Structure 1
Amino acid sequence: MKPVESIEDFYREKLNWVPDSIHTEIGHFNVFKLAPFIGKEARPVPYSRRDYFKISLIVGNNKVHYADKVIEIKKKALLFASPQVPYNWEEIDKIQSGYFCVFTESFFHQFGNLRQYEIFQPTGTPIFELTDKQADEISAIYERMFDEINSGYTHKYDILRTLVFELLHIAMKMQPSSNFEKQEGNASQRITSIFLELLERQFPIDDTRQRLSLRSPSAFADQLAIHVNHLNRALKKTIEKSTSEIISERILQESKILLRHSTWNISEIAYALGFNEVTHFNKFFKQHTEITPTRFRNV
């Protein structure tokens, strides 16, 4: 798999320079119009993970390959990309225009955990088709970002954070509230939140020397210091899935990513995902997809 692209790589590749502010403790933020990048950004972009966040308004027909999904943007869309999930996108018709902003996690260090938002999680919805009215509203937010970043106002970065959160909440209002959100504040939700954090902390897998250490419901229950049945009831209540189902779905998702977008052999992938024998991985994969890993890779 392509190495993780850093924010420095982004600037070197796209702009041939790296801003001095990029390594400051307050983090980094910048905003761009997409037009100057068309021709660079519109060609198929290598499938990789980035170490920064990116929110893009894209006008034009293209496809986004995100985690193990492929989503077609027919007209206008808002795309959220995070360090947790690899992606690339390819042009179908000529991309006309758009905006994007990039920022590091440390830019929001004192203002909450960005990774808790569903749209930045591997199982979340990263792309939102927009009406013309919604696209105009979001374009206006990006124009405000340009006004603020070019101003001399002392607290302009506080305003820029607020505008990023505005984009987040506009998008989240477009999707139905999940059971997870409705249960917020109760004991089951807290257990679920910690479980998902423990699960997700093991990903992404970027090196063949990595190996999942938490793969079974009992292993997670031990980490949480609760009975495995208690954990299962909490997850059933909040997500309506069993512990085993959630673990298996996440391992399956990562296996598809590695099969599609890495050069690792099947044995290396099986080992990294915690399978002691490649035959066990083959059986697991076929059980959930009805095809073998090798066939999936070659389709």
Structure 2
Amino acid sequence: MKEAIAVYTKIPNVTDIKIEPFDVNKRYTKPHRHNKYIELVYFKAGSGFHYVDSVAYKIEPPIVFGISNNEVHHWEIDTVPEGFVIIVKDGFLEKTIDKHINQQLYRLNKEQVIKVQPDESIDKLFEVLCLEMKQHSIQKEVVEGSLKALLGKIIGYSNRVECMVEIDKAVHFEELLLQELRNDVAFYADLMSINVAQLNAICKKSFSKTASQVITTHIIQESKRQLLYTDRTISEIGYSLDFKDVSHFVKYFKRHTAITPLTFKQNGILV
């Protein structure tokens, strides 16, 4: 009997992004999947192969590999590698100040390999990000600004210059959620001039979630913000999020967080 494909979690629960030098001890790994995160790996030195769903990609630096959380991959690296790794959890994408970063990450994540040219600025941006990630108090604006610049440089070398319609629609969906938050998939599908099935397909490809699950994530996040940072009553918060009945809002919140809105507000901890 074959063993189940391993599922790796390479990033602590307390953080949503990790940027660090590539671990030279990971030259040979077993096939595995990622646990709810995407990964970008940049090599400026090294040789060997990267296997994604049994397809072999030759490591020819400088090169970038994108790995999504549903792909099975492993490394077979012949020489000592030199490079960097970016690991991003869903939580980071949900909390970005600049949503253009999400679009950049979705775009790169759709490409399994990007051949870049020797570019000192890419190396420097990675070094800046690694240094910032080591700080006791990480400045979100510095991380996002440097990351956006780095991803922009890498995208500039991408062979896929055509407009990525599905990614653009996924970003548009998130923008609509920020403008008006309703627990209604059909409402957003109508605004985007597509049907519910199409919106679900876009969300599955871009977020590995249904449209309803994406909406739920935003509703719970906004609920927590209002509970902690406003003087609104629980009823007012529920109505502001398009719940017609406060009891429905309380049940919805508890179903997705395991605690009531009042308990969350009293604890005063954003989780």
> What is the TM-score when the length of structure 2 is the normalising length?
0.54
Q: Is the 8 A contact 2:20 2:86 kept in 1?
A: yes
Tell me if the contact between 1:149 and 1:157 (Cα under 8 Å) persists in the aligned partners. no
Pairing 1:173–2:145 present = no
Alpha carbons 1:73, 1:129 under 8 Å: kept: no
Task: Name the counterpart of 1:156.
Answer: 139
Match of 2:31 in 1: 47
Q: Is the aligned partner of 1:23 residue 2:13? A: yes
Query: SS at 1:146's partner residue?
Result: helix
1:193–1:79 Cα change, 3 Å: farther
Go from structure 1 to structure 2 and tell me whether the alpha carbon gap of 1:69 and 1:114 turns closer, same or farther (over 3 Å shift): farther
- Given the superposition, is the C-alpha separation of residues 94 and 2 from structure 1 closer, same or farther in structure 2, using an over 3 Å criterion? same
Q: Distance in 1 between matches of 2:198 and 2:32?
A: 27
Distance 1:202 1:146 in 2: 26
Please name the residue that 1:229 is paired with: none
Matches for 1:178-257 after TM superposition, within 5 Å: 178-181=162-165, 194=199, 196-197=201-202, 200=205
Counterparts of 2:195 and 2:132 in 1: how far apart (Å)? 37
Match of 1:5 in 2: 8
Q: Secondary structure at the match of 2:131?
A: helix
1:142-177 CA-to-partner distances (Å, cap 9, x unmatched) read: 11013322345x551332233333333323222333
Against the structure 1 CA distance between its residues 131 and 198, is the aligned structure 2 distance closer, same or farther, given a 3 Å change threshold?
closer
Matched, 1:80 2:85: no
Find the residue that maps to 1:7 and give its secondary structure.
coil
- The amino acid of 2:107's aligned partner reads E
* 8 Å CA contact 2:115, 2:157 repeated in 1: no
Counterparts in 2 of 1:179 and 1:102: CA distance versus 1, 3 Å: closer
State the alpha-carbon separation in 2 of the partners of residues 5 and 86 from structure 1: 11
CA shift for structure 1 position 202:
11
CA apart distance, 1:137: 2.0
1:86 Cα deviation from its structure 2 partner = 2.3
- Once the two structures are superposed, residues 9-54 of structure 1 have per-residue CA deviations (whole angstroms, 9 ceiling, x without a partner) of xxxxxxxxxxxxx333xx33333223xx32x2112x1111112332
- Runs of 5+ consecutive residues of structure 2 not aligned to the other structure: 173-190, 210-271
Q: Report what 1:118 is aligned to.
A: 107
Tell me how many residue pairs correspond in the alignment: 179
Percent identical residues = 10
Change (3 A) 1:195 1:62: same
Structure 2 residue matching 1:88: 3-state secondary structure: strand
Decide whether the 8 Å contact of 1:108 with 1:161 is kept in 2: no
| 8 Å Cα contact 1:55-1:79 kept in structure 2 | yes
Q: Evaluate the alpha carbon distance shift between residue 54 and residue 200 of structure 1 in structure 2; reply closer, same or farther with a 3 A threshold.
A: closer
The equivalent residue for 1:95 is 80
Q: 2:131 aligns with which of 136, 141, 147?
A: 147
* Distance change (3 Å), C-alpha of 1:202 and 1:5: same
RMSD of equivalent CA atoms: 3.6
Residue 203 of structure 1 deviates from its aligned partner by 7.0
Secondary structure of 2:5's counterpart equals: coil
Tell me if 1:62 matches 2:45: no
Q: How far, CA to CA, are the matches of 1:87 and 1:76 in structure 2?
A: 20
| Alpha-carbon distance in structure 2 between the residues aligned to 1:202 and 1:156 | 26
* Structure 1 gap ranges (5+): 9-21, 205-299
Q: Distance in 2 between matches of 1:188 and 1:166?
A: 32
Check 1:105–1:63 CA distance in 2 against 1; reply closer, same or farther (3 A cut). same
Contact kept in structure 2, 1:56 and 1:101, CA below 8 Å? yes
Shift of 1:109: 1.5
Tell me how far 1:67 sits from its aligned partner: 3.2
Q: TM-score, normalised by structure 1?
A: 0.49
